[in-house]
Structure 1
Amino acid sequence: MDPTDLTFRLLEEITDGFSEERKLGKGAYGTVYKGERKNGDEIAVKMLHNDTLGFDDKKFENEFQNLMRLKHPNIVRLVAYCYETQHKHAEHKGRIVFAAIIHRALCFEYMPGGSLQNHLSDEFHGLDWPTRYKIIKGTCQGLNYLHEGMKPPIYHLDLKPDNILLDKNMVPKLADFGLSKLFSEDKTKITQTPIGTIGYLPPEYIEKNVVSNKLDIFSLGVVMLKILAGPRGRSRSAEMSSQEFTSQVLGNWTTRLLETRNVSSLQAYLNQVKTCTEIALKCLDIDRHKRPNIVDIINWINENEAMIGQDADKPWTKGPVPSDHHEKPPSSSNVNLDDTQENQEDDHSNSCSKEKEEEHEEVHQIIPMEHPSVPIDVHLLEPWILTSNMFGSVDIMNYNTQDGFIRVYTYESPVRQVKRFKAHSLDITSLDVHRTEPYLLSAGSMDPIKLWDWNKGWECIKMFDMQAFQTVQQIKFNPHDTHKFAVTSILDAQIWDCKSRTCVQTLIGHMDCVSSVCSHPDIPILLTGSFDETVRLWNSTTFKLEGVLDFELGKVISIVCLKGSKRVVIGHEAGLVITEIRHEQAGPSNK
């Protein structure tokens, strides 16, 4: 439907005389008011200033003509306009004279979400990731329509958060086409006319006044960084390498997303974060010829979403993997659980339930807590369990700095730091010390797992690239096979061989994030805990499932085993459980 012609008097009525209460914002060329028509429709009325230097009928007509041509879900829709000349008399030097006053207005669909600028925040606050991703994708689609859907193409030339408006469903729409230009075959121009906003303009324009479609691409990169990482997103990216910045943003979003406890979507969201961050940084290349065009950007976004959809059905990943990793099925040495897993789980669930009710009631010591403690470790000689909770901590790390340093201390009095070294680019998620060798394993956010030898001056002697494992929850050496270690992540658990640096086993079965792992020091049992509220017992030699424990106390946070007994301590959201493993009553693997 074509825009309608409205009178200036009608605009006065629906905006209560252009009152301050109706004012939505003010820009270089005009002030925007909220208007309410008699039928209840709300519109945004942009009254253009008459005294603005450089703004004339030509610029008004340019914006009007461009807006008349634009019809896209991610472009703000022009619904009405006003162009009216009034003649008023006034006294001038003792004489009554008549002056012509021109009223120019553009009326748009009302966007209750306001401008994107009002919603920018860092990774830990404000809009959730799905909403930010929708805004990024919609902004790219709107720009794609301008550059590729219009003939000749339109360059916006002032793309910034203030000019991206949000509807009631937070769908973004590009607005303010006052500076936009139509370009024919020659897509690069030299202009002396000031355009754009400092901070969103590329170096070729600032230095040489060069205008091309890559100007909008540079602006898009700045906008994307601010959506991803807040108002300081652009400046933060300039303070470090692209890899460091990407790792920092991924680490911060991992922390935020884990708090939502929607682990089933975590890896897909992290894929989107990574893809969008990498696209944004490519858009900011100093050389405009190396920046992607909008078609490339749309294709990358679509390819990433298609890959996520395909990978979600693959049983060995239990979820999608990042776009820069090549996924492969488990090695032939893995135990194939696909054919037997369902029946085994049913048998074990029934078996464990009966054990809980009939035989094992006396050996389960359940300690419900309002603010549960998490078991961290056990004393090797004394019957002590080391725990921590939300009100106390051995160490406090600022999650915004996440320095990734390993610090080594003596435990003899006086306690002193004997070593401090950079181990990972971001925070360290898990550490484990080898029981007989001078080795330390460390895992960091988005980094390979590293093996350190303290007899060689804490040299990193091996690295293990987890590929699909982007968020390692815990790592543990196997006390029964000192050359292997177990890893848990948001996807599943894996067994890795230190010598070959390969994954030799994938433990599939948990339905949610695998949060913890523990190898029992006395019996060949490996325990894995999950946010699905269960603990699974695996034979640490054959890696077959031995049993399933479920105490209905919420997500499993941590597991420790007590040396010299068959008891284990399991930390849940709602309390601790001290129970005993009946290894002689093993499950299907011993039948």
Structure 2
Amino acid sequence: MVRRQAGSAAAATGRAFVVCDEAAAARLLANLYNGNVYLWNYNDSTLVKSFEVTELPVRTAKFVPRKQWIVVGADDMMVRVYNYNTMDKYQEGVCGRGSGFSGRQPRQLQEAGVMQWEAGLDAAAVRTFEAHTDYIRSIAVHPSLPYLLTSSDDMLIKLWDWDKAWACVQVFEGHSHYVMQVVFNPKDTNTFASASLDRTIKVWSLGQPTPNFTLEGHEKGVNCVDYFTGGDRPFLVSGADDKLAKLSSA
């Protein structure tokens, strides 16, 4: 069932890039072109909280449920990690000068009784670091290891280990245009796929410097890729600027 979120406050204030859900907590995460992130409860369609990450577009956001984190990547080339429980405590502070709350809220959010943090959010972040030299397009979270993948318009994919103080433990090079999305293989979490505007999809293995193989089925840039695991073997589903969706063997 598709449920329309009440008030459409997020839609009214910016174009959405990505919607990510955390089923266990019934939460829906939306990151917007205007630099804001919205957290919804999709059981009762209420807006739980919203905050401004940056003045630039936030192109990707993901839950890390086992750490109770939200990880976001933006056009300022920064990755920010928030603990949404800590943010609850942060919001309980006094709203005033020096508290990190600007006092400015969209009218829709004021009417809903939801606070929007527009400054000082980095103070509530678990970690903030510059991850790339161009816009960050995608983030993928490893399902069991302390790993985060990021991809960027700098044509690089980077692997980060949060157990090693967010060290960059590997850089994957091989695409010749923006890397629009990365996604882990749910049936073999040592491998992942990437989609690029160079019209290719590449499949990689952690620890290996070059891709396992490259798929070249699209005539224009590939914007998205994901694994379909409904059958006996995994397939890759991709969408591109050639207006085609393709299913390829993974």
Q: TM-score range by the shorter chain?
A: 0.5 to 0.7
Cα distance in 2 between the residues matched to 1:389 and 1:463: 27
Give, as a single letter, the amino acid of the residue that structure 2 aligns with 1:405.
Answer: M
Higher strand share: 2
Higher helix share: 1
> Residue 526 in 1 paired to residue 169 in 2?
no
Aligned to 2:204: 496
Taking the TM superposition and a 5 Å limit, the aligned residue runs for 1:152-551 are 375-381=18-24, 386-387=29-30, 393-394=36-37, 395-398=53-56, 402-412=75-85, 413-414=88-89, 416-466=124-174, 468-491=175-198, 492-520=200-228, 524-539=234-249, 543=250
Cα displacement string for residues 461-509 of structure 1 (whole angstroms, at most 9, x for unaligned residues): 111112x423111111111111111111112211111122211121221
Distance 1:437 1:537, change over 3 A: same
Contact 1:375 1:385 in 2 (8 A): no
SS in 2 for 1:518: strand
Distance 1:390 1:424, change over 3 A: closer
Give, as a single letter, the amino acid of the residue that structure 1 aligns with 2:213.
Answer: Q
Cα displacement string for residues 48-105 of structure 1 (whole angstroms, at most 9, x for unaligned residues): xxxxxxxxxxxxxxxxxxxxxxxxxxxxxxxxxxxxxxxxxxxxxxxxxxxxxxxxxx
Distance 1:458 1:478, change over 3 A: same
SS in 1 for 2:189: strand
Give, as a single letter, the amino acid of the residue that structure 2 aligns with 1:450.
Answer: K
SS in 2 for 1:419: strand
Cα distance in 2 between the residues matched to 1:495 and 1:417: 32
Cα distance in 1 between the residues matched to 2:146 and 2:229: 18
SS in 2 for 1:476: strand
Cα distance in 2 between the residues matched to 1:480 and 1:377: 20
Cα distance in 2 between the residues matched to 1:402 and 1:384: 25
Tell me by how many angstroms 1:427 deviates: 2.5
Distance 1:519 1:404, change over 3 A: same
Higher Cα radius of gyration = 1
Contact 2:140 2:148 in 1 (8 A): yes
Give, as a single letter, the amino acid of the residue that structure 2 aligns with 1:408.
Answer: V
Contact 2:35 2:56 in 1 (8 A): no
Contact 1:407 1:421 in 2 (8 A): yes
Contact 1:475 1:517 in 2 (8 A): yes
> 408-417 or 381-390, which moves further after superposition?
381-390
Cα displacement string for residues 328-369 of structure 1 (whole angstroms, at most 9, x for unaligned residues): xxxxxxxxxxxxxxxxxxxxxxxxxxxxxxxxxxx9x9x9x9
SS in 2 for 1:381: helix
Tell me by how many angstroms 1:375 deviates: 4.7
Cα distance in 2 between the residues matched to 1:398 and 1:513: 24
Cα displacement string for residues 210-235 of structure 1 (whole angstroms, at most 9, x for unaligned residues): xxxxxxxxxxxxxxxxxxxxxxxxxx
Cα distance in 2 between the residues matched to 1:372 and 1:417: 24
Distance 1:484 1:437, change over 3 A: same
Cα displacement string for residues 449-470 of structure 1 (whole angstroms, at most 9, x for unaligned residues): 111111111111111112x423
Normalization by structure 2: what TM-score? 0.58
Runs (5+) with no aligned partner, structure 2: 5-10, 38-52, 58-73, 91-123
Q: CA RMSD in A?
A: 3.3
RCO greater where, 1 or 2, for CA within 8 Å and sep 6 or more?
Answer: 2
Give, as a single letter, the amino acid of the residue that structure 2 aligns with 1:472.
Answer: V
Distance 1:495 1:508, change over 3 A: same
Taking the TM superposition and a 5 Å limit, the aligned residue runs for 1:85-124 are none
Cα distance in 1 between the residues matched to 2:171 and 2:55: 25
Contact 2:170 2:207 in 1 (8 A): no
Contact 1:475 1:485 in 2 (8 A): yes
Tell me by how many angstroms 1:397 deviates: 4.2
Distance 1:513 1:480, change over 3 A: same
